Every structure is written in structure tokens, then in C-alpha cells.
A and B are shown apart, each in its own frame.
Chain A
Amino acid sequence: MGEFGNFLVQNLGDFWTYTGIYNATWQHFAMIAIGIFFIYLAVAKEFEPMLLIPIGFGMLIGNIPFNMDAGLQVGLYEQGSVLNIFYQGVQQGWYPPLIFLGIGAMTDFSALISNPKLMLIGAAAQFGIFAAYMIALALGFDPMQAGAIGIIGGADGPTAIFLSSKLAPNLMGAIAVSAYSYMALVPVIQPPIMRLLTTSKERVIRMKPPRAVSHTEKVMFPIIGLLLTCFLVPSGLPLLGMLFFGNLLKESGVTRRLAETARGPLIDVITILLGVTVGASTQASEFLTVDSILIFGLGALSFIIATTSGVLFVKFFNLFLKKENKINPLIGNSGVSAVPDSARISQHVGLEYDPTNYLLMHAMGPNVAGVIGSAVAAGVLLGFLL
């Protein structure tokens, strides 16, 4: 009986070493608290709930402590585990292009086609990426890591994940969480900058209503867009190819079912998997580092610079435009590609100063140009650095 008793005690002792309570560290609890905070932001404040709920819950999943030496094959970073299989879409970079397929299938590029000069705002706002790149270099990150961090300023979660999975996989968790967090915080970050950089006269500029765009133009846009951007930057092909393909499904008018699948069930499934696995990739041992804190700081900075450069570019551009063609600088922030949040910010801030001046339609132009611009910028960084 004594021997059996010892066996039982030893067995329970072994079991104890496998529990989360035994393996927990303060870092795990810190990350769990951040995860719960994300869920709180999503539920109570409705900040990007589609992203923050999966990421927040993923953080909880990824930070349940377990015996790492036991080979239980439960952790995200353990090859062959279920979570690891889900994570392959992030690691190998095939979730982001599928998300882009859905984005393409739900985006109406009419505003951009009717007023194509708005594309340049989308290009100008990408300066945030390269400013963050320079600052990251100055802080001691190597060029590849700096490129991956800089892309946070593109305000495009899938692009940030895609690029960081190629350039700096070890920083991907921090970069993805940072990118999505700041996208959720667009309503907090952008308005003060927009107000600061514009005069009261500029804020009430009324833009010409966009002209009606023909079906032929809408069909031509994804084809020409793909050929032109990808011939210039072939490394952006996975993202741009799927974005324009999705848009062609939508605009062709003859593939309605495919377009609906791409912008509905497909993007939902991928968003769930992407969000949960990105959240789970923030395992405390990998995530809670000084680098992560620096990345969060740089991410905020790159968002601020991107917004600033977008607004300032519009003001500069206005110097060359006739009075009736002037652009309201409040849509300059939309060059960062957080679709459609930054365009909504333009609308809200614009309405504060003139309740009859609706900027949403105009802001959608630079907003979708920002998506193209950030994908091109990611392609450029890949081409230069990889």
C-alpha cells in the first residue's frame, strides 16, 4: 500500500508540473491582462471588434502556461501542433493575400477612378513607413527589422503581417498586434493631427462631386492596376494580385457568387484564423521584450507621420490646383490605408466644421489608394531588403 501511495503522490506531483498554475510566470499574466484589455476595447468601446476579439482571445490561448519541455504539441511554436498548423498561414504568408482577395471584392474604386489625382495622397501617406524605417535604424534595428517595423505606418494589418513574416519573423507578433491596435485607435490618433495642420478655411473646402464611372472603367481598373503596379514591383504580387483579382470578381458583374464568397465567408474564415493565431503568437516568452515596447512606440510614431504627410501633401497639392478643383486637406489622413476607418474620420471631422459637407466619398479615394500604396511599399521593401 505504501508503494502504491508513493506512486499516487508521484503521479499527482508529475501532473502538478504539467498544470498552467505551476508553469505560470508574471509575463503570462501580463499578456493575459493585455488580451482581456483588447477584448474589453472591442466589446465596450467597439474598437475594431472583428480584429480585437480574435486577437485578444488568441492572446489568452497563446499565454496559457504549459510544460514546454514535455513535448505536448499544444503550443503555437511546436511543430505539428494544431495551433502551429493554423499558424502556417501567417508564417508562410498566405493569409494576408486571401484577406486582400476579400478586400478587393468588397472595395468600390469608383471614387478613385473618377478623381484619380487622389491616388497621389495614398502615395504621400506612405512616407510614414519610411520615416519609421529611419527611426528604427537609428534605434539599432537592422535594415530588415526596420523595414518590417516601418510597414506598421502603412496601417494595413495583412501587409504588415506579410512583410514581417518575410523580413523579421521573430518580430511578427509584436508588429501585427501593434498594427492592428493602432488601426483600432485611428479615431484617437488622427483627428488632433488633422485639426492641428489645417486652417478653418481649409476644413470647409467643398470638393466637386465625383463623376459617374462607367462599368468599362471599373473592369479596366483592376486589370491595368495589376499590370502596372506588378510590372513595377513584382514583389508585391501576392498582395496586389489578390487585391485586384478580388476587385475584378466584383466589378466584372458575372462572377457574383465568387465575389460574395471572397468578401463574405472566405474573408471571415481567414480573419478568424489570422486574428487568433496572431494573438496566440504573442506567447509571453517571445513577446514581452524591450523590442516589442520599441515597436509599439515606433508604430504610433509611424501612424502620426503617415497622417501628417497625407494632410500636408494635400495642402501642398492645393497650391497647384484651380480653385474649383481644390481638395479638402481633411481627407489627407485617409491616405493611410485603414479602410474605411480613416475615411470615416475625414467625414466626421469634416462634418464638425460644415454639417453639409460630406467628405466620405472623396476620402474613400485616397483610402483605397493607400491600400495599393502600402502593398507597393511592402513590395519595394521586400525587393530591396530580401
Chain B
Amino acid sequence: MNKNKFGILSMLLAVVVAFASCKPATESEESGSKILINEVLMTNETNFQDDYGMHSAWIELFNKSYGSYNVAAHMLKYSDTPGDTAVYFIPKGDVLTLIPPRQHTLFWADGQPNRGTFHINFTLDPTKESWIGIFDSGNKLLNEITIPANILTTDQSYARTVDGESEWEICGAGTTKYVTPSSNNYTLDKNMKMDKFQTQDKNGIGMAVSAMAVVFSGLLLLYIIFRTIGKISTWWALRKAGKAKGLSEEETKEAMAKGATPGEVFAAIAMAMHEMQDDVHDVEDTILTIHQIERRYSPWNSKIYSLRDLPKK
């Protein structure tokens, strides 16, 4: 196998490996939604209080993107009976509907929308299978969750195991998980990456080896690709030259090798032509011709411009 074929094969192999290792799309990626329903608490007796001091059911939304997201003019929909869907239109004009990157916001399902933007016009019933969806202003479904009937007891929430991930679990009373309104579902109380490096790669050899492998493979791939491109480009140039002279590829190669003129020669010729045509040198290029310019008058030293005229009597 010649080197050209090897280069092309390596490239093809790299492309195949790259495509084969592509990550399959997950649930949230399929919808492409930045806003997700993240946690729902249906019966609140002793849990989080709203701004009126009341214990109400709540729905937590999570902005999974790294940019702010405004839920104004979006719709929260709820249904526990087929054909009967309650809709809450999130009002415009409240600055608090802008959810910062990777942050949460709570909507109180207390059926009291007159209490503010975040109090919605329906309540949740844990005894029935409940469907909750969030829609954008164009009525496009962004995210939904169906909570089975009677799986949540008092002060228990149904939450994603990790913010934005597709797995759900029951949290709160009687479980080892915490209810986390307006907060991360999975609390990061340490820097996992740092801990891993500090325990498993104390002297940094692992990092050095893996990082150098990445740097080398990146530049090695670039080398293989450009080596192949270079070969193709040279072959193409030969072919074009051969066609113009009516020679075969081999004959062109031989002719070019015979009459090969080093690049330096062309550079010298080009430089000489440039010098001659553009007259870049003085004729007397070894004589310094510095003449002092006599200019006694200058506006900068003129009194006319720096002094005011005296008033005439």
C-alpha cells in the first residue's frame, strides 16, 4: 500500500470513528428545550413557604442553558382528567420571569393568580395521574412530565435526579433524598474533578500523559490530512502541467525534475525586476544627501498667532 492510500485510509477511518462515537440524543436534547420542569411537590404541609407564608404545591422550572431565559408569555398546562386541561399564561412585564443561566424558579400551584406572577391558577391533585407541560408563546411544547397517581405522599416531591437530566425520583419524607425548591436537585458539596485529580493523580503523570496524547493526536491528524492534501495538490499540479504540454504524468515529472529551478532563483529574478521597474533605490545609494531645510518662519513661533492684538485707540 503506498503512502497516499495509507493517508486517505487513515482519514476515512478517523471520520468513521468520529461518526460512530457520536453521542445519541437524549430526551431533553431531542426537544432542544432550554427550559425544563425540574421538580414538582404536590402536597405541601411543612415544606417551603410562599411569600404569603402559605404552604402550597409548587412546580420548579430549570433553565439548563448557560444564557438567561425568559419564561414570560409561556404557558404552564396541567391535566389530571383527559380532555380537561388547565392553562396558566405566565404574564409579561415581570423582570423576575428572566431565569439566570443554570438557575431555577418556582411557581406556586395554589389557584391564586391574583397573588402575583408566580402563583398559578390551578392546584395539583396527587391522587390522580397528573400531566404538567410548559409551552412557549407559540404553543410549542417545550417539556412535559407525567406523575403517576398516588406515588407522592405529603411533603414529597418528584424530581430529576440531577438538574436537567432525564431520570426522575421521589424525594423528601421517608426517602434519603432531599426536597430542593429553587435549588440544585443534586447538591455539589465538593469539586469531584479536583478530588479525583488530587487522590488519583497526585504527581500529575496521568495528566501529562493524557494531555500530551491529545495534543499529539490533534497535530498528528492535522499532519496526516495535510500530507495527503499536499500529495493530491502536487499530483493535480503535475496533471495540469502535463495536460498543457501534452505529456503523461511520468513525462511531466521527469521534465520538471530536469528543468527544476530552485525557488531562490525565481526570488532573485523577481527582486531584480521589482527594483528595476519600481525604481526603489536612489541612483546614488551610497551617498547621504541630508540638506537642512531653511524655514525661519513657522506659525508656532509667530507672535501674530499667539498674542491678541492690542486695542487701537
- A residues with a Cβ closer than 8 A to B are 112-114, 116-117, 119-120, 122-124, 126-127, 129-131, 133-134, 137-138, 142-144, 146-147, 209, 211-214, 216-217, 220-221, 224-225, 228-229, 231-233, 369, 372-373, 376-377, 380-381, 384-386
Residue numbers in B under 8 Å from A138 (CB-CB) = 203-204
Complex partner residue of A385 from B193, B218, B230, B233, CB under 8 angstroms = B193
Residue numbers in B under 8 Å from A123 (CB-CB) = 212, 215-216, 218-220
| B260 CB → nearest A CB, Å | 11
Segment of B32-40, B69-77, B221-229 engaged in the interface with chain A: B221-229
Beta-carbon contact of A377 and B211 below 8 Å: yes
| A381 CB → nearest B CB, Å | 7
Q: Is B6 an interface residue (CB 8 A)?
A: no
Known: A209-B263, A224-B226, A228-B221. 6 other contacts (CB 8 A): A116-B222, A134-B207, A146-B204, A224-B229, A228-B225, A372-B222
Residue numbers in A under 8 Å from B217 (CB-CB) = 232
Q: Is B127 an interface residue (CB 8 A)?
A: no
Residue numbers in B under 8 Å from A126 (CB-CB) = 212, 215
Residue numbers in B under 8 Å from A142 (CB-CB) = 194, 198
Given contact pairs A212-B263, A220-B229, A232 touches B214 in the complex (Cβ within 8 A): yes
CA gap between A375 and B204 in the complex, in Å: 20
Residue numbers in A under 8 Å from B233 (CB-CB) = 213-214, 216-217
Q: Is B301 an interface residue (CB 8 A)?
A: no
Complex partner residue of A117 from B197, B223, B225, B263, CB under 8 angstroms = B223
Given contact pairs A130-B212, A143-B197, A119 touches B223 in the complex (Cβ within 8 A): yes
Residue numbers in A under 8 Å from B198 (CB-CB) = 142-143
Given contact pairs A130-B204, A142-B198, A214-B237, A116 touches B214 in the complex (Cβ within 8 A): no
Beta-carbon contact of B194 and A376 below 8 Å: no
Nearest neighbor of B224 in chain A, beta-carbon distance = A116
- B residues with a Cβ closer than 8 A to A are 18, 193-194, 197-198, 201-205, 207-208, 210-212, 214-223, 225-227, 229-230, 233-234, 237, 262-264
Residue numbers in A under 8 Å from B202 (CB-CB) = 137
CA gap between A270 and B3 in the complex, in Å: 45
Beta-carbon contact of B220 and A120 below 8 Å: yes
Given contact pairs A377-B215, A385-B193, A217 touches B227 in the complex (Cβ within 8 A): no
Closest A-B pairs by Cβ, 8 of them: A130-B208, A134-B204, A116-B226, A123-B219, A143-B197, A119-B219, A380-B211, A116-B223
| A33 CB → nearest B CB, Å | 35
Beta-carbon contact of B216 and A120 below 8 Å: yes
CA gap between A116 and B223 in the complex, in Å: 5
CA gap between A126 and B214 in the complex, in Å: 11
Beta-carbon contact of A120 and B219 below 8 Å: yes
Complex partner residue of B218 from A127, A137, A147, A229, CB under 8 angstroms = A229
Residue numbers in A under 8 Å from B18 (CB-CB) = 231
Given contact pairs A130-B204, A133-B207, A114 touches B214 in the complex (Cβ within 8 A): no
Residue numbers in A under 8 Å from B193 (CB-CB) = 384-386
Beta-carbon contact of B194 and A143 below 8 Å: yes
Given contact pairs A143-B197, A212-B263, A385-B193, A376 touches B219 in the complex (Cβ within 8 A): yes
Nearest neighbor of A377 in chain B, beta-carbon distance = B215
Complex partner residue of B230 from A116, A133, A386, CB under 8 angstroms = A116
The 29 sampled A-B contact pairs (Cβ below 8 Å) are A113-B226, A116-B223, A116-B230, A120-B219, A120-B220, A122-B219, A123-B216, A124-B216, A131-B208, A134-B205, A143-B194, A143-B201, A209-B262, A211-B230, A211-B234, A214-B233, A216-B233, A217-B226, A224-B225, A228-B222, A232-B217, A369-B219, A372-B218, A372-B219, A380-B215, A381-B211, A384-B193, A384-B210, A386-B193
Beta-carbon contact of A134 and B203 below 8 Å: yes
| A210 CB → nearest B CB, Å | 8
CA gap between A369 and B211 in the complex, in Å: 16
| A309 CB → nearest B CB, Å | 10
| B52 CB → nearest A CB, Å | 36
Q: Interface centre among A127, A131, A228, A231, by most B CB within 10 Å?
A: A228
Nearest neighbor of B264 in chain A, beta-carbon distance = A209
